[in-house]
Amino acid sequence: MSQQNLSVVLAERPTAEIIPGKTFKTEQKPIPKAEDLKDGEILIENWYLSLDPAMRGWLNDRRSYLPPVQIGEIMRGATVGRVIASKSSKAKEGDVLPSFGGWAEYSVVHDSRVEPVSSFPAVSQPIDYLSGIGMTALTAYFGMLRVGDPKPGETVVVSGAAGATGSVAGQIAKLKGARVVGLAGSDDKCKWLTEELGFDVALNYKDPEFKQKFKEATPDFINVYFDNVGGEILDLALARAKEFSRFVMCGGISQYNSATPQGPKNYANIITMRIKMQGFIVFDFVQEYGLARKELAQWLEEGKIKRKETVVKGGLKAAEQGLVDLYKGINTGKLIVEIKNPKDAAKL
Q: Quick check: 77 and 50 in contact, CB under 8 A?
A: yes
334-338 and 41-50 strand pairing: antiparallel
- Rounded Cα distance between 146 and 227, Å, is 15
HSE-CB for 155 with a 13 A CA cutoff? 21
Helix (H) or strand (E) holding 321: helix 319-326
Beta-strand runs (E) in 121-166: 155-158
Among the listed residues 143, 142, 138, 177, the one whose alpha carbon sits nearest the alpha carbon of residue 158: 143
The domains of the chain are located at 4-131+308-338, 135-283
CA-to-CA distance for 149 and 171, rounded, in angstroms? 13
- Say how far apart CA 144 and CA 185 lie, in whole Å: 21
Phi first, then psi: what are they for 65, rounded to 5°? -75, -15
Q: Which CATH superfamily is domain 135-283 in?
A: NAD(P)-binding Rossmann-like Domain (3.40.50.720)
Q: What is the pTM of this model?
A: 0.94
Give how far the C-alpha of residue 31 lies from the chain's centroid of Cα atoms, to the nearest Å: 28
Is the CATH number 3.40.50.300 carried by domain 4-131+308-338? no
Any idea what DSSP says for residue 249?
Answer: E
Q: Which residues contact 149 (CB under 8 A, 6 or more apart)?
A: 224, 246
The one-digit pLDDT tens for each residue of the chain (348 residues) are 469 999 999 999 998 899 999 999 999 999 999 999 999 999 999 999 999 999 999 999 999 999 999 999 999 999 999 999 999 999 999 999 999 999 999 999 999 999 999 999 999 899 999 999 999 999 999 999 999 999 999 999 999 999 999 999 999 999 999 999 999 999 999 999 999 999 999 999 999 999 999 999 999 999 999 999 999 999 999 999 999 999 999 999 888 777 787 888 999 999 999 999 999 999 999 999 999 999 999 999 999 999 999 999 999 999 999 999 999 999 999 999 999 999 888 776
Q: DSSP for 154-223, please give it.
A: -EEEETTTTBHHHHHHHHHHHHTT-EEEEEESSHHHHHHHHHTS--SEEEETTSTTHHHHHHHH-TT-EE
pLDDT reported for residue 348:
67
* pLDDT score at 255: 84
pLDDT at residue number 296: 98
Burial of 234 (0-12, 13-18, 19+ CB in 10 A): buried
Dist. CA 60–CA 302, nearest whole Å: 41
Q: What is the pLDDT of residue 315?
A: 96
Are 193 and 162 in contact by the 8 Å Cβ rule? The answer is yes
